[in-house]
Copies of this chain bind each other. A is one copy, B any other.
Amino acid sequence: MSFIYRTRYVSTHTLPLLSLSQVVVGVVVESCGYSGGSGLGLSPSLKEQQQQQPRARLQRMESVPPVSRVAIFGGTHGDEMSGVCLVRHWLSDAGEVAAEISRPSFSSTPVMGNPRAVQHCTRYIDTDLNRCFTHEQLAMEVKEDTPYETLRAQEINRLFGPKGSDKAFDFIIDMHNTTSNMGNCLIVSNSADIVVLHMARYMQDICKSAISPVFLNEMAGVERCYASSVSKHGIGLELGPQPQGVARADVLIRMRKLVTTALDFLHLFNTGHEFPAGSLEVCRVTERIDYPRDSHGNLTAVIHPDLQDRDWEPLHPGKPVFLTLDGATVPYKGPSVTIPAFINEAAYYEKGLAFWATQREMLHFPALRVHGQASQAHI
């Protein structure tokens, strides 16, 4: 759909490992530390030469069809209470969609993602719903022992998809909570989706420092399996820290602000506003780090106090990551600095994940406007 120009921020430790092929396909590796600076391991003239061609392509204007149907999911995980409370509230509004999520240029549909899990205030009944939206699972034959969440994913796909088709809803906003200190995190799963990138940048502009870095959960060769992948475009809102099964007012207020800001963006887009070319810093997942465990799979260590709650802060090799039950400190053994995310998320213990290692990357993308409408204004 669009051309995205990437600048990847890595430490100087990894620079020699990267080949010129990454430049050829449009990825330029810069060594910048962790503040988005410009310190580059290449000479200025070579840098300019490499960037000239892809950057020229950013000058074009992308036009994309308007958004007509938007679904706002909560309770995709049944114990993440911000979304559960908000969807229930919007659905209870005398059968009409609450004014809070109504916009004149599109329909908004609040959806309780996993109603049975919500009823039991648990993440899921049989399996994690938010990993069920692969084409394979969506096409799976239903048997007696088919997990509830597979059935529900297929139902959601019928109602809001089919995934990857022209009939699919235009946008899904999926509300999540985490026990990690992730702040107001936006989750993007497709770095080629220019509408989502513009939305994220708009939300950063409106909410300023209240927005955490964007978490880019995109891995080569891995199909997107989230509920938000059923629609043409989708974004996840991941707010923390909040315990499972608890609704905190401060997190609820932040969630409302993010949802309404996302809807405002879509309405602006629909009504012809032009969004200029721009950039977005993201943290791209690179590696999953698990806890030390015994032969039974039980934890023999917990997140070290020096790392706890330090999501998004650079983690250097040799710095503490775990504290064993015997009192020993386990250092980070990665080859270079990483940006940890989802540190000590409750639901990830069973997934073998103590935190995600990520790398900063800068995405540059062209201007955006709605297809088929005259331009109204730059914002």
**B-contacting residues of A (Cβ < 8 Å)?**
85-86, 88-89, 92, 121-122, 179, 241-250, 252-253, 294, 298-300, 302-305, 308, 323, 325, 344, 346-347, 349-350
Contacts and interface: CB of A to CB of B under 8 A. Distances in A.
B248 A344 contact: yes
Given A88-B298, A89-B325, A179 B246 contact: yes
A249 B323 contact: yes
A92 B325 CA distance: 11
A85 B302 contact: yes
A92 B350 contact: no
- A interface majority secondary structure: loop
B245 A303 contact: no
A180 to B, nearest CB: 9
A177 to B, nearest CB: 10
Contacts of A248: 302-303, 308, 344
Contacts of A242: 243
A252 B326 CA distance: 12
A249 B248 CA distance: 23
A214 B179 CA distance: 27
A89 B326 CA distance: 9
Number of this chain's copies in the complex = 2
A161 B193 CA distance: 64
A223 B110 CA distance: 45
Contact of A346 (B92, B245, B302, B308): B245
Contacts of A347: 245
B179 A250 contact: no
B244 A245 contact: yes
Given A243-B244, A247-B299, 14 more contacts: A85-B299, A86-B325, A88-B298, A121-B349, A243-B243, A243-B246, A244-B245, A244-B346, A246-B344, A247-B302, A247-B303, A248-B303, A248-B344, A252-B302
A113 to B, nearest CB: 16
Contacts of A121: 349-350
29 contacts: A85-B299, A89-B325, A92-B294, A121-B350, A122-B122, A179-B243, A179-B246, A241-B243, A242-B243, A243-B243, A243-B246, A244-B244, A244-B346, A245-B347, A245-B349, A246-B344, A246-B346, A247-B299, A247-B302, A247-B303, A247-B344, A248-B302, A248-B303, A248-B344, A249-B303, A249-B304, A249-B305, A249-B308, A249-B323
Closest 7 CB pairs of A and B: A243-B243, A245-B346, A89-B325, A179-B243, A247-B302, A249-B305, A246-B346
Most chain B CB within a 10 A radius of its CB, from A179, A249, A253: A249
Contacts of A300: 89
Contact of A302 (B249, B303, B305): B249
A246 B349 CA distance: 8
A241 B308 CA distance: 14
Contacts of A249: 302-305, 308, 323
Contact of A243 (B92, B122, B247, B346): B346
A312 B245 CA distance: 22
A147 to B, nearest CB: 16
Nearest to A344: B246
A3 to B, nearest CB: 42
A241 B244 CA distance: 12
Contacts of A325: 85-86, 89
Contacts of A349: 121, 245
